[in-house]
Amino acid sequence: MKVLVTGASGQLGRDVVLLLEKKGHFVLACSRDQMDITDELKVNEVIASFGPELVIHCAAYTAVDAAETDTDGAYKVNAMGTRNVAVASEKAGAKLIYISTDYVFDGTSVTPYQEYDNTNPQSVYGKSKRAGELLVQTLSSRWFIVRTSWVYGHYGNNFVKTMLKLGQEKPKLQVVHDQKGSPTYTVDLVEFLIELMATEKYGIYHASNSGSCTWYEFTQTIFNEARVIAGLPIKAELEPCTTEQFPRPAPRPRNSVMDHLAIRTNGFSDLCSWHEGLKNFLREMSN
């Protein structure tokens, strides 16, 4: 399949490109330098000249805290940029996969969020990503919205890499124990996207590694597995703390666990557990 990928130099985008090419797809990898999604004319020109059958839209403004004081910047990329990609993809007759986020929910639910539950984003980042979802639904005729959470991979900075570094440097670490979610390994997410893109089963999907944990529990597991799998000299003593002890500009969802209702009811393979995903990541990293 002929696939154009936006945000191709980002953490998820790089794995999307690598795995698509590995499976024999013809890929045009677009970083901001090749195609700034906020430039409507450039987006139309690049997509029209390549003529993709599918666009995977990974490009996003993801600086969650910075977005609180840069509302225009977040909306320019996540809403207007997404509109530009959606319109150009539709003109080219391409399917569109839009990568969204658990931040479209407020995090107050006591049960996992299903795809068609009401959204109620609390942060500028979450609101701008929800705006992108609405534009995709309005402007595209063949769309998939894939919401994911707590993403980490081999490229760029992420929570796992930060904790591995701090675990070897600091004697003590405090990690939040009252926010719950599902850590997601980029490679597992991309495998699902590749299965999804070959179908006409359009709609909203929740795709994260299965199961859930708090950031504290996730860090505990990172440290334990890093010692065993990668032989890393983790010395930091872990201490649970509350969200209030670490105030941040943008509110975080207390519960961002998502139920994979659409994956089950459409007959797709569910993603493996977050613990298994983490072990696979650490094995790859140590190799």
CATH of 2-158+184-210+252-272, one of 3.40.50.10540, 3.40.50.1980, 1.10.10.10, 3.40.50.720: 3.40.50.720
Domain positions in the chain: 2-158+184-210+252-272
Instruction: Tell me the average pLDDT across 188-212.
Output: 98
State the chain's mean pLDDT as an integer: 97
Average pLDDT estimate for 38-56:
98
Split at pLDDT 50, 70, 90, the class of 283 is very high
What's the whole-model pTM score? Answer: 0.97
Tokens, residue 241? 């703390």
Does residue 62 register a pLDDT over 90? yes
Comparing CA positions, the residue from 96, 99, 72 lying closest to residue 85 is: 96
CB atoms within 10 A of CB 97: 25
Supply the pLDDT for residue 287: 87
Question: Which residues are part of the catalytic machinery?
Answer: 125
Amino acid at the residue 36: D
Residue 246 pLDDT exceeds 90: no
Residue 141, classed as helix, strand or coil, is: coil
With CA atoms as reference, report the closest residue to 207 among 153, 133, 117, 268: 268
Question: Residues with Cβ < 8 Å from 189, sequence gap 6 or more?
Answer: 12, 146, 148, 151, 207, 208, 271
**pLDDT tens, residue by residue, 146-159:** 999 999 999 999 99
Q: What is the pLDDT of residue 132?
A: 98
